[in-house]
Amino acid sequence: MKNRIAMLLACTCGFVPVLVMGAESAVETQQLLAAEDGFNWSFLYRADVFSNVSGGLQQGTTALGNLDAKLDWDLGTLFGWDGMSAGLHGIASIGGKPNANYVGSSQGVDNIEVDTNTAKIFQAWIQKQWQDDKVSVLLGLYDLNSEFYVSHSTGIFLHPSPGIGSELAQTGQNGPSVFPTSSVGLRLRFRPTSETYIQAVVLDGVPGDLDNPRGTHIQFNKGDGTLSVAEVGFIPELNKDAEVTGLPVTDKFAVGAWSYTARFEDLVDVDGAGDPLMSKGNSGFYVLAEKILYVGTANPGSHTDGFLRYGRANADFNQFESYFQTGLVFTGMIPGRSEDQFALSYSIAQTGEKYRLAAADSGQEATSSESVWEATYRTPLSSWLIVQPDIQYVINPGTDAQIKNATVLGVRFELAMDK
C-alpha cells in the first residue's frame, strides 16, 4: 500500500507543473480573445490521478484526463431571433482506466473514465423559449443529465453515481443519453411558477454506434426505440436573490420516471426455443431531495447541504433494481476559504434476484449489492485552478463475491476558462 501511495504522489508531483504552465499560457490567450455580445464559451480540463491501494482487481496507479469545450449563442442578440439559443459541446478523453484495470466496480470510481478514449461532439442543440423561459423547447444532441436527475450539491463527487443514478445509468443497449455518448432528443419544459417546473424528453433509445465508439454518430436504426423521461420539481430558492441571501440555489425536491419502448432480453426467462425472452417494460423512477441544513454565522456564506437520492429499475432486465445515496456537503467552513468544500457520501446499488440467479447459472457468486463510501475536499487555488483529493471505499466491487473490497485514492486538477 505504501508503494501505491508513493506512486500516486509521484504522478501528482510530476503532473502539476505541466498543468500550471499550460494554464498560465491559456489564461494569456484568453485575455487576447475579443468578447462578442451574444456569444459565450468555456473550456474545462480535468486531470485525475487514481490509485487502487488495496482490494479490487489489482493494485495500481493511472492518470486520465477529459476536456470539455462549450460554445453558446444567444440568437436573439446575434440575429434578432427572439427567445432562441444554440449550444455546442465537445469532449475529448485521454489516459488510463482506473476502474476497468484496477478496481472492477460495476458503478465505476471516476466520472471521467470512458471505455474508449476519443474526441466527439457531445451536445449540439437549438432551443426556443417563450414568456421569459416559462415555456421552452429544445432539439438536438442532448445530455439527459444536463437537466434531468440533477442534484446541485452532489456535483462535487468524483464517483459517477452522484450524476445520473446507477439504476438508470446501467440501462439501454449503449447506456442512456449521458456522458460520454449522447443521442438526439426533443425536450419540453414548462414552469408553472418561479419555483416549480415540469419537463419531459424523448430520446433515441440507442446513443451512438454500438460497433464504433470513436467519434460522433447519429443513427436511427430499426429496433432502437425511444427513451422517455419526465420530471417534476420544486426549487424553493429559485425566486430569491442569491446576492441578498449569500447562498447558492441548493434546495430542490424532484421526482422523475423513465421508460424504453424497445424490447430487452430477460435475464432469466426464455422463450419456447430456449432463447432469452424479449419483452417490453424496461422502466423505472427516481426521487431527489436536497436542502441547506445549516448556515454559519462566523463565516459569511458558509453552509451545510444534505441530500437524498433514490431510484428503481425493472429487475427483469437490469443488474441493479434499486439505488440509494445520501451525504453532506460543507462549504466555506474554514475562515478565509469561503469556496472550499468538504463532502461525504454513501451510496448503495442493490442487485435484483434475476441477476443473482443468472450469475449463479454462469458460475459466479453475485452479492446483493455494491456500495461506496466517498470523502473529498475541493479547494480553488486560483481563478483557473482547483485541486481536489478524494478517497473511496468500494464494498463488493462488481457485485462479485470473489473480489475484495477496494480502497481507492485519487486527486483531481481542474483548469477552467470562460467568457
pLDDT in tens, 109-141: 999 999 999 999 999 999 999 999 999 999 999
pLDDT of residue 37: 78
pLDDT of residue 25: 38
CB contact set of 142 (below 8 Å; sequence gap of 6+)? 123, 125, 177, 182, 183, 184, 185, 187, 201, 203
Q: Give the pLDDT mean for 276-290.
A: 96
Alpha-carbon distance values, 220 to 185, 204, 209, 408 (Å): 12, 7, 10, 40
pLDDT of residue 23: 41
**Within 13 Å of residue 166, how many CA atoms lie on the same side as its CB?**
25
Q: Which is higher by pLDDT, 302 or 62?
A: 62
| E strand segments, 162-225 | 183-190, 196-204
Q: What percent of the chain has pLDDT over 70?
A: 89
Each residue's pLDDT tens digit, 7-28: 554 455 444 444 443 444 333 3
Q: What percent of the chain has pLDDT over 90?
A: 82
pLDDT of residue 239: 53
Each residue's pLDDT tens digit, 206-223: 999 999 999 999 999 999
Each residue's pLDDT tens digit, 371-409: 999 999 999 999 999 999 999 999 999 999 999 999 999
pLDDT of residue 180: 97
Long-range contacts of 364-368, Cβ-Cβ distance < 8 Å, separation of 24 or more: 364/400, 364/402, 365/400, 365/401, 365/402, 366/399, 366/400, 366/401, 367/396, 367/399, 367/400, 367/401, 368/399
| E strand segments, 280-403 | 283-295, 303-313, 320-331, 341-351, 369-380, 385-395
The answer to whether 384 and 413 have CB atoms below 8 angstroms apart is no
Look at the block and give the residue holding cell 478524494: 390
pLDDT of residue 246: 57
Average pLDDT, the chain: 90
Q: Give the bridge partners for 52, in sequence order.
A: 60, 408
Calpha distance 63→47 (Å, rounded): 7
pLDDT of residue 220: 93
Q: Give the pLDDT mean for 344-371.
A: 97
Calpha distance 169→316 (Å, rounded): 16
Question: With 80 as the cut, is the pLDDT of residue 171 above it?
Answer: yes
The answer to whether 294 and 270 have CB atoms below 8 angstroms apart is no
Calpha distance 194→215 (Å, rounded): 39
Calpha distance 293→290 (Å, rounded): 9
Question: With 70 as the cut, is the pLDDT of residue 35 above it?
Answer: no
Q: Give the pLDDT mean for 32-45.
A: 74
pLDDT of residue 296: 86
pLDDT band of 205, cuts 50, 70, 90:
very high
